[in-house]
Amino acid sequence: MNPNLNLLQPYPFQRLRDLFKGITPNPEFSPINLSIGEPKHATPQLIKDALVNSLAGLASYPTTVGSLALREAISNWITRRYGVPALNPETAILPVTGSREALFAFAQVIIDNSKTKPVVISPNPFYQIYEGAAFLAGAEPYFLNTLPENQHAMEIESVPVDVLKRTQLVYVCSPGNPSGKVMSLAQWKTMFELSDKYGFVIAADECYSEIYFDESNPPLGALQAAHKLGRDYKNLVIFSSLSKRSNVPGMRSGFVAGDESIIEKFTLYRTYHGCAMNPAVQVASIAAWNDEAHVIENRTLYTAKFNVVTPLLKNVLDVELPDAAFYLWARSKQSDTELAVKLYRDLNITVLPGSYLAREAHGLNPGENFIRMALVASHDECVEAAKRMAEHLK
């Protein structure tokens, strides 16, 4: 067995199940689950129709690079969304079966174990795939605490020089999970400058980029930041997904795009890895990337929930409307695990303790005393949960 498997920690939701073991929630209340970031809004009919009408594609093996039509649709979407020159669909874009598996596989391609103690930097709190990818690639994770006091920014310049010299990969999540914070152009400038100096690759996880609250001010993307700064995409790859944008988490459809030399090597790896996208899913993905009406409607649903839930919870928790994404990252005066138990036991509401999304690093766990609430349930359920909490916690 690969000994690095022993370095993996239990996934947050397994820890949550263990935390709730033996606890019976209050039967007076219907269950409301705000713990997992799984979109619950309806899948748009145009995507379902495209999928059903393309089932004949199941008779053929898909290629690793996907159809040119899909890559062109993705390239066109990137240009429309970020205002950057069109990426070459044949060399700069690769469809993937969801951003999660691509984020994990990417580290296996980038990390060079012939170098001394390679490092992978990630934000802390963070999406757990980053840590697992680092360990199983034979690298050492370095957790960069992102705190409310520094606006949840990844202050990459605070990393010691001896660590930066060994850093080969930096995961950036913007909009962030769980904080919902968006990287500024100044923060990207610093990230790019250090990448140039130390040679590390930037993996920009942008799976929440299309969930935001101001139609006139979409979150800044990594390719967009590079373009604004007059740069090319050297050592920069973005990861995007239809799961949140289009409410199709079960379709497992996303893409990576950016540095063509890296995309070339990643394509080679994936050819052997064997994770090509289902041909019917490719056609449905084209329909999704080509349509924005359903995405605007999706944002409208989230905005309506956040506009009601956030003010209700501000009376009992330290919480603000995030820049983007569908999470509320709420600070409490009591232990996050104790609060999670209390909400589950007394109100039949499931939330995720913030400490489960972080690691002890530099003397603290930056997720302690926070809870993450995913406002993915229906409007009525989210408002009902907020009302229960506002009444019970006051």
Q: Which domains does the chain have, with CATH numbers?
A: 3-42+294-393 (3.90.1150.10), 46-291 (3.40.640.10)
What is the rounded distance in angstroms from the CA atom of residue 304 to the CA atom of residue 68? 38
Specify the pLDDT at position 149.
80
Q: How confident is the model at residue 2 (pLDDT cuts 50, 70, 90)?
A: very high
What is the rounded distance in angstroms from the CA atom of residue 152 to the CA atom of residue 136? 27
Task: Tell whether the torsion through CA atoms of 24, 26, 27 and 32 is positive or negative.
Answer: negative
What pLDDT digit, counting tens, does each position of 79-101 carry? 999 999 999 999 999 999 999 99
Q: What is the DSSP string of 237-256?
A: EEEEEHHHHHT-GGG--EEE
Task: Tell whether the torsion through CA atoms of 247, 337, 30 and 213 is positive or negative.
Answer: negative
What is the rounded distance in angstroms from the CA atom of residue 372 to the CA atom of residue 208? 15
At residue 153, does pLDDT exceed 90? no
Structural tokens at position 162:
């001896």
**Average pLDDT over every residue of 135-158:** 91
Specify the pLDDT at position 147.
87
- The distance between the two most distant Cα atoms of the chain, rounded to a whole number of Å, is 59
Rounded to the nearest angstrom, the gap between the alpha carbon of residue 272 and the centroid of all alpha carbons in its chain is: 25
| Cα angle value 302/303/306 (rounded, 5°) | 85
Q: Which residues pair with 373 in a beta bridge?
A: 328
What pLDDT digit, counting tens, does each position of 356-385 carry? 999 999 999 999 999 999 999 999 999 999
Specify the pLDDT at position 148.
85
What pLDDT digit, counting tens, does each position of 276-324 carry? 999 999 999 999 999 999 999 999 999 999 999 999 999 999 999 999 9
Total residue count of the chain as it appears in this document: 394
Do residues 124 and 358 lie in contact, with contact meaning Cβ atoms separated by under 8 Å? yes
What pLDDT digit, counting tens, does each position of 210-266 carry? 999 999 999 999 999 999 999 999 999 999 999 999 999 999 999 999 999 999 999
At residue 152, does pLDDT exceed 90? no
Q: How confident is the model at residue 151 (pLDDT cuts 50, 70, 90)?
A: confident
Q: Give the H or E element holding residue 68.
A: helix 68-82
Strands (E), 195-253: 201-205, 236-241
What is the rounded distance in angstroms from the CA atom of residue 183 to the CA atom of residue 134? 23
Q: Which residues pair with 350 in a beta bridge?
A: 33
